Structure 1
């Protein structure tokens, strides 16, 4: 399957959440969904030599690397490093509204300078054969999205970008926290759909506020090429990804029950522990596996309270799974 087809459904890049352990878990739930890394800054790779930020498991493919930056030459070098590491896509962050990102002159603030973004994308494309994509907002601050978004997309297309994920909210760079920027600015899905009508040659995905596969299917049936889901896929991974392969991609789901996914994680967890890792580094991403099901509260409590203790190992996960299974059978 081509990566554009995998991009029919993707998990959004989320700082402190979509690390390699999270992605490995998600891949066990869905074989087809395109997975994104947390944002990795180009300076960290090029100037800081932080190549450990690119570590991932081969099982995660298809997996995309999201980069943050605003210097074309530095982004080109970071893209080259990412491509050599084997990532299937290099994505440029033009959507993150945090103060830390703004101070580096990248993220959502770049919506104000589409010409610079276009130069960055051209430089990255010249450096790698791997596809270069963009994730953006519909606008920032007092911009009129109906004016700035089509101009931004046109400049990306002219720069050779063929796939864009659009977070359907404005970003307010002053006065709202990153968390508030995920909820307060109103969503404008019709504008994103309009962009697909205006740019039928581009692969456009919608992101922001999508909480179910029913919503995802509606967007795809409405003409969009892809749907990117963030928090819902993280907090309710089984609800979003557990049926994704069948409902979005028309293929078999790899697991029949979240308990199957837990058991499949055992070799990965034990390898991580043998290498000196901590249990909670993995299990923190597993807390929502049973969301909405009998025993979900016990599952979360056992793992939350026990996984940070010294010596915590697979036995704790098994204890939590046994508690869920017992309550499910009793209900």
Structure 2
């Protein structure tokens, strides 16, 4: 699932109408998934209808965000895991308003509702009440007792054994693993244990060169191309200048187009100066060409022109003992009696 792009649209129609430009993307971004969130069936239907014109490859429903604005006052995101019947209804509404596959992204539990059986109940009910056949599993539970979203990505322990038990107990469904996977070495380790797909999130954003520089060879088996960051940025300049202001009202602007690049030189000489120059350039640059001309002087040629080197690092044994930790198989008989 590397290369699987996901956008999140918070479901207030006022925001949708003001920010509809955000739904647009370049054809090069396929496959691309739109993630929507909310707790109003009518609004979910309208948001899905709005997305149809943009031809996303999949619509994903957010049942995993622990932010207080979402799971607290908003009462959606991960809090919806406590109401699988509603999630099943929501997924049916979303599916009825699109012709592309639908999926759910969730955690493995919420607060004290964190047993494997409760997770299975959620998966079983949602898949029984809707056409949902793909779940993206963040292998941590969420804590809604006031800790920050950032802490929710590191404090609750990872339980990969829950994910692999889902593969065993729901063989007709597709599951993608997420959480704590930070390199292509760890992606391959998950795939070797049978994962259907792997989502890499923060690591790909925070350390894009280190995380993604080996993807073509390590994941997809392609020969090394000797690709450098200078070449990447030359191609990105062409792409960026082609999309600037495309959606009216000067959106997207240089800052928005350049944002995915800001960690490209993480830990390299010139990185701090590059970021300071970028902050300044955002105030007046109107093209990606001018942005790069003003900022890349901070980065030595040796950094710009060096291809990714060495063997990718990572924990090859991340899932070594996971099969020994699997919880007892889920008994669906009681659920089948209810949802027959």
Question: Which TM-score bucket, shorter chain as reference?
Answer: 0.7 to 0.9
Counterpart of 2:106? 136
1:66 shift after superposition: 0.3
Deviations 1:157-191 (A, max 9, x none): 21221111001111112221112111111111111
Stretch moving more, 140-149 or 288-297: 288-297
Correspondence for 1:78 among 28, 47, 52: 47
TM-score (norm 2): 0.79
Counterpart of 2:94? 124
Instruction: Determine helix, strand or coil for the equivalent of 1:178.
Output: coil
Stretch moving more, 190-199 or 283-292: 283-292
Correspondence for 2:274 among 279, 299, 317: 299
Stretch moving more, 246-255 or 263-272: 246-255
Q: Which has the larger radius of gyration?
A: 2
Instruction: Determine helix, strand or coil for the equivalent of 1:134.
Output: strand
Cα pair 1:46 1:78 within 8 Å, conserved: no
Stretch moving more, 84-93 or 246-255: 246-255
1:322 shift after superposition: 4.5
Counterpart of 1:88? 57
1:252 shift after superposition: 6.2
- The alignment of Structure 1 onto Structure 2 pairs a total of residues equal to 299
Correspondence for 2:68 among 96, 99, 102: 99
Task: Supply the distance in 2 between the matched residues of 1:255 and 1:122 (Cα, whole angstroms).
Answer: 46
Cα pair 1:299 1:320 within 8 Å, conserved: yes
Counterpart of 1:23? none
Task: Supply the distance in 2 between the matched residues of 1:56 and 1:206 (Cα, whole angstroms).
Answer: 25
Q: Which runs of 5+ in 2 are unaligned?
A: 307-340
Aligned in 2, Cα 1:48/1:263: closer, same or farther, shift over 3 Å?
closer
Task: Supply the distance in 1 between the matched residues of 2:51 and 2:18 (Cα, whole angstroms).
Answer: 12
Aligned in 2, Cα 1:62/1:300: closer, same or farther, shift over 3 Å?
same
Instruction: Determine helix, strand or coil for the equivalent of 1:115.
Output: helix
Task: Supply the distance in 2 between the matched residues of 1:330 and 1:141 (Cα, whole angstroms).
Answer: 48
1:84 shift after superposition: 2.8
Stretch moving more, 313-322 or 94-103: 313-322
Task: Please list, as runs of the form range in 1=range in 2, the aligned pairs for 1:143-222 lying within 5 A after superposition.
Answer: 143-158=113-128, 159-222=130-193
Task: Supply the distance in 2 between the matched residues of 1:61 and 1:201 (Cα, whole angstroms).
Answer: 26
Counterpart of 2:78? 108
Stretch moving more, 290-299 or 200-209: 290-299
Cα pair 2:114 2:141 within 8 Å, conserved: no
Correspondence for 1:230 among 176, 201, 205: 201
Task: Supply the distance in 1 between the matched residues of 2:5 and 2:286 (Cα, whole angstroms).
Answer: 28
Aligned in 2, Cα 1:91/1:293: closer, same or farther, shift over 3 Å?
same
Cα pair 1:164 1:205 within 8 Å, conserved: yes
Task: Supply the distance in 1 between the matched residues of 2:304 and 2:75 (Cα, whole angstroms).
Answer: 54
Cα pair 1:244 1:253 within 8 Å, conserved: no
Task: Supply the distance in 2 between the matched residues of 1:81 and 1:190 (Cα, whole angstroms).
Answer: 38
Q: Which runs of 5+ in 1 are unaligned?
A: 1-8, 11-32
